[in-house]
Amino acid sequence: MCKLTIQENTKHMKTRRIMAVVLAALMMLSIIPVAFAEEISSISADAALSVRMDDAWAAIELAEAEALADNLPASDVINAVYTAALNNENVDADSFSDFTADGFFFTVNGMHCAYNYRLRNKIEANVTEEGSVTFNASNGKVVEMRDATSPNVLLVGPYYGGYDPTFTDQYRREATSIAEATGGTLTILAGHDATGPAIAAAFPDKGAVIYDSHGIASGTSSYLCLTTNQGITNEDYANGWAVRSGNEAFIDGRYVENHITSALDNPFVWMAICEGMKLSGRGTTGAALLRAGCGAVYGYSQSVTFVGDYKFEETFWNVIKEEGTIAEAYATMVDVWGPVDPYGDAWPIVMSPVDDFPANPDQAQTVYCDWTLFGESEEPIALKGYTLSANEANIAVGETVTVKFNREPEDANLYDIIWTSSDENVAVVDGNKRKVKITGSGSGTATVTGTVMVNGSVYGTAVIAVSVTGDESLAAALNVEGGNLWFGTSTEYPFTAVDDGTRVFARSGNKRVVNSKSQLMLTIAMQSGDTMAFDYICSSQTDRDFFNFYVNRQVELRKSGVTEPDWQRYTFTAPEDGVYYFVWEYTKDSGGSQGEDCVCVDNVAFTGTTPSTPEPTPEPTPEPPVEEHDGDINGDGNTNTADAVFAMRYALGLIELTETQLIHGDVNEDGVVNIVDAIGIMRIAMGLN
């Protein structure tokens, strides 16, 4: 269900009549000081504009009320309102724009307005005005903040209190949890207390801001919907950063930018609203919030479903609260749920100083923002010891586990870690100074090692024993003849092996299950030019249910309907060296089903070095020592950790190397010695290369 609901509401029409006061003021201009007269003139002009705005909305609301009373369908109600607005002398005749199935935008004497049937006709029965509240959600711990320099949290819920009962307690619980994690306070602006001025005034001294509301986009911007227009001025409407909708209003990021009362504390703004990052909104809201002093902004390209947003939200913020970056949280979120609303067509988008508004927000995004809720102390603090949250991991192919690096003291920062896997055909790693993510890529065992570096020297190592199990029947069904790839699949609605008498293949497992997805996963370390190819067939409800093929979270292939001809072949070519994560996914919406309602995959072939269990081989005949590019920087005849330290210290600008040493240290033969070479030398020393 979309974050837009349809309900009935009785509209109260009122028009202020103050022209007599205006005329009296004008008559006095000849007998009062010029400055005061100018002020009165300005007030009078603004009052006159308000009268015109009220008159226009009185006509619109009358037309709407009459159409609703006649029980006309939504399209006829919208048409009646449009006719009334078009014929009103106060409405700018050529200003109508952004027509949708729900309404349109227009101006009154240059002041921005909008009519939206679904937003205006929501349930308002049993409204219990909540008002704003600030309370201490802290668990008592004091946390030093980094990117967000305040531990406090702001939650904006204009529809709380019964204005739209579709909104649940999801974000109240989440905002409370965030404040508990940071040790800060939580401020909730609910119902009619969520005014434009109140929101702008609450932005300072916040590390996280959450919009839990409806949203709407026009050709000008993307807007947060409020249940009141209190405090919003004609100037705001004229500038386009506020839009009037009867007794309600919409505001965008420019409104906050132009009304904040003090500097912001680099907060992260999570917009759980529809169309917050819609293409027609041009990223205006996100750009304005960044200019205002926000660290990053999250939103959706289309109307998002409640259930889809809640799934995204919970996964994302769990990573943030576990000291992850926005980039890590986003990547984890799309790994779990895919890069688009599982039950709709809204794509999550992040804007930050390193993440521009995408040219096309309706596709997967790679996020780079390293904003964190918790951060490192700016003061150098030595590492005195460490432990791991786990020393072994038992996972399935395609499954990912995270192991935390626990420091002593907790705020130690004078160290670095190099994470490596003894066999990337079994397990691949992605780690930093706080944790390592281990993903099963094939059946077998491997050792994950974290080499802890302090001042360019090896301080110690942290070792994790990894065991990965694979589904042999799935591997047999999917591999091309002679192939040895291992596959993972989703726990809920897994892909399964099928023998139809003509071929053996794997088929998605969520047939006839609404709002569901079935996934097949493969991880391969590839070199530039390597290929991975497969056969596929899709049979689904056209433009409702989809087969998506992802490469490193980016959509490479998207199909819907019935594949013609039946089986087709697709080939992916690696553009560069690296680890590649492949996902075959079949997603279903809340509607019906057509055809076989599945996707099938077969004959997966990899052109590179196919992962397999190595066979014992005779001891090789010793070869003459390598004279160049062997990693032996110190010239002692061995390539060991001491050489890796030399390479790292040179890469950091701490020492100089001779020409001969540079040749030996350039193990990847790219003409320079850097951190990549240091890691390569470490791998040689550990017997991995």
Question: Residues 228-254: pLDDT tens digits?
Answer: 999 999 999 999 999 999 999 999 999
Residues 581 and 523: beta-carbon distance below 8 Å: yes
Token pair for residue 346? 């809204």
pLDDT of residue 150: 86
pLDDT of residue 18: 40
pLDDT of residue 380: 86
Of residues 254, 248, 159, 171, the one with CA closest to residue 208: 171
Q: What is the mean pLDDT of residues 275-298?
A: 95
How far is Cα 66 from Cα 628, in angstroms, rounded to an integer?
87
Beta bridge partners of 440: 427
Of residues 627, 614, 617, the one with CA closest to residue 660: 627
Three-state secondary structure call for residue 171: helix
Pinpoint the alpha helices (H) of 440-578: 472-478
Find the range with the poorest average confidence among 108-122, 322-336, 665-679. Answer: 665-679
How far is Cα 441 from Cα 445, in angstroms, rounded to an integer?
11
Q: What is the mean pLDDT of residues 541-551?
A: 91
pLDDT of residue 432: 82
Higher pLDDT, 302 or 398: 302
Higher pLDDT, 75 or 687: 75
pLDDT of residue 48: 79
What is the separation of C-alpha 435 from the centre of its chain, rounded to a whole number of angstroms?
A: 21
In tens, the pLDDT along 599-644 reads: 999 999 999 764 444 343 344 444 444 456 788 887 777 787 778 8
Higher pLDDT, 565 or 538: 538
pLDDT of residue 145: 38
Strand 153-157 relative to strand 208-212, pairing: parallel
354: pLDDT strictly greater than 80: yes
How far is Cα 164 from Cα 144, in angstroms, rounded to an integer?
38
Strand 427-431 relative to strand 457-469, pairing: unpaired
How far is Cα 667 from Cα 684, in angstroms, rounded to an integer?
10
Q: What is the mean pLDDT of residues 47-72?
A: 91
How far are the Cα atoms of 156, 226, 270, 579, 656 from residue 134, in angstroms, in the given order? 12, 20, 19, 47, 57
The pLDDT-based confidence of 261 (bands split at 50, 70, 90) is: confident
In tens, the pLDDT along 4-32 reads: 332 333 333 333 344 444 444 444 444 44
Find the range with the poorest average confidence among 63-77, 113-127, 318-332. Answer: 113-127
In tens, the pLDDT along 142-188 reads: 334 346 788 899 999 999 988 888 899 999 999 999 998 888 899 99
Three-state secondary structure call for residue 181: helix
Q: What is the mean pLDDT of residues 493-510?
A: 94
Residue partners of 533: CB distance under 8 A and separation at least 6? 569, 570, 571, 572, 603, 604, 605
Token pair for residue 90? 């106060």
| Biggest distance spanned by C-alpha atoms of the chain | 111
Higher pLDDT, 227 or 375: 227
What's the predicted TM-score (pTM) here? 0.62
What is the separation of C-alpha 22 from the centre of its chain, rounded to a whole number of angstroms?
A: 51
430: pLDDT strictly greater than 90: no
498: pLDDT strictly greater than 70: yes
Query: What's the first-to-final CA gap in the chain, in angstroms?
Result: 52
pLDDT of residue 608: 78
- For 457, phi then psi, to 5°, come to -115, 155
Q: What is the mean pLDDT of residues 463-477?
A: 94
137: pLDDT strictly greater than 60: no
The pLDDT-based confidence of 212 (bands split at 50, 70, 90) is: very high
| E strand segments, 348-490 | 348-351, 385-388, 392-396, 400-408, 416-421, 427-431, 435-440, 444-454, 457-469, 488-489
For Cα atoms 377, 381, 383, give the angle at the middle one, nearest 5 degrees: 125
Higher pLDDT, 683 or 462: 462
How far is Cα 490 from Cα 494, in angstroms, rounded to an integer?
5
Dihedral sign, Cα of residue 19, residue 24, residue 30, residue 34 = negative
How far is Cα 372 from Cα 320, in angstroms, rounded to an integer?
7
Q: Phi/psi class of residue 279: alpha, beta or left (left: φ > 0; alpha: ψ in -120 to 50)?
A: alpha
The pLDDT-based confidence of 544 (bands split at 50, 70, 90) is: confident
375: pLDDT strictly greater than 80: no
Three-state secondary structure call for residue 85: helix
pLDDT of residue 206: 94
What is the separation of C-alpha 39 from the centre of its chain, rounded to a whole number of angstroms?
A: 48
Q: What mean pLDDT is reported for the chain?
A: 85
How far is Cα 80 from Cα 58, in angstroms, rounded to an integer?
14
pLDDT of residue 561: 92
Tell me the percentage of the chain whose pLDDT exceeds 70: 86
Higher pLDDT, 75 or 689: 75
pLDDT of residue 126: 55
In tens, the pLDDT along 643-682 reads: 887 887 788 776 787 888 888 888 888 888 888 888 888 8
